[in-house]
Structure 1
């Protein structure tokens, strides 16, 4: 999410559109890493306010309303339920404006998703989220929802160099992500424990399941095949220097829009992904990877074993994999975003429909 927001702000800035990021909630230095905000115009609304609940909300809305009156933005985007609710309340204290929602998770894992109905328009990052907004919240698709996907940074994405495939008979699998229940790395360990042949699995990421996963690896006696690398601040630079890669594996139970697939494909890496809600079906096709049923260890094992047996000989070329995600380039993305924001713009003296 941080990567997408940074790309969004950078790309709009290059087009002469300034973005200010307003952060809600209490700031805890030991918990919150703000290094990703370097170079961004941002404001912590009430970082040291001691109280929680409706009292905090009341004062946050008052300060947000003052900021809106002072700076008079042209567009208002809420990244979560709290932001949308605050904007909705601030609108009653300032002047008419339209609110865009821009959520980055499947609706079913949001707390009280009905709050999204307070927004006038919706920037949807996947066709699955668009479907959920229509079917679960009854929002009109044609005029209210803009399916914009997520962007690959034009500098760090589509212009990336390719990460080589193995040429020595070894099949090298890659997992990049948090080691949590949502990402379901346990399924991956169970699947690779059944594999036969010459293979390795490189896991880049941290999470509370790590010790359990390490114990599972030992119980299957595959310690020499599975390598835990931990969290890396620049994961792809690390991977580039680490090893050739045959395929990236995504085993998530749900997603908003899995950027790791685009990041891998922009480097020519074939992807095997769970067909979870939401996102993978928008990205994965016969030119860059394949999908498997969520939680189906037999299907995942079969697909990985095939890659080992074929030694990657039947995979699409790395160039075709890279070209398959061109529609997610930041240029195309910005065209979709700017058009949506223009349609939702309202002058201060206009009345909301």
Structure 2
């Protein structure tokens, strides 16, 4: 396969899809894959890098049995457990992130879904942030009803995060308390509300390359426009604590594959940056166009300021959309594609 020619064809409108023989993506020269992915990124996404931050609204005691997760009560990680944070603490963190020029801020909750009491607290804090701040607001709250998604949307949330984690085939090896189809149904409920969905997964959990390709295709079929790629950092006390750590080359190839299959999406550098030299700098010349960042993000290893300085050195633009004139914003990348569902 001529990777340079394929990149040109994708820029011109060709799309890789389920049923195509994509085995060449696993064996193609890595430097050519990275170069092609970066050209696709520049042509179809530009030099804007979308930065998001998160805060844990409630920690620990999750009843789901995801094998990778420190928050699961099925695992023995001795993670911090706490009830829902004081809303002023959440708002102050969001305000600080806004002042540092971050695009979007998300509340993350552990568990299958928020309790009724916690959900009302979330609605109230979202309403306050929407009124008092400019930063885009997102949530990662697990499984919710259509009515809950609607209330979040009306309160000011524009994006929902819900990872599919891996391929349909491999998912039962990672979690059995909910199904892959449960994930898909939850994503579609959010999309039907008109919310943008950020969804990706974790590599390095024991899946093979075909699973990674299948995950990328599924996300494309769902019309996902923000795809976080996490690299497993094995956590002591989880069933995956002895998994070998991924190589940098494997991470870079995965980023490039996701860009070839999802050419118009934001491929978002997420957990596991410490596995790479310079905290993942090279991913931004391999197809990545977005990142989770943040001074509270323990998986990052760098601050918002350091990330913005690194990206500026690479010639990338981190001006948040909420600072731009309406006509120059990139919000179209997060809008729900009706034809995808």
Shared topology, TM-score over 0.5? no
Larger RCO (CA within 8 A; separation ≥ 6): 2
CA radius of gyration, larger in: 1
TM bracket, shorter-chain basis: 0.3 to 0.5
Per the normalisation by structure 2, the TM-score is 0.34
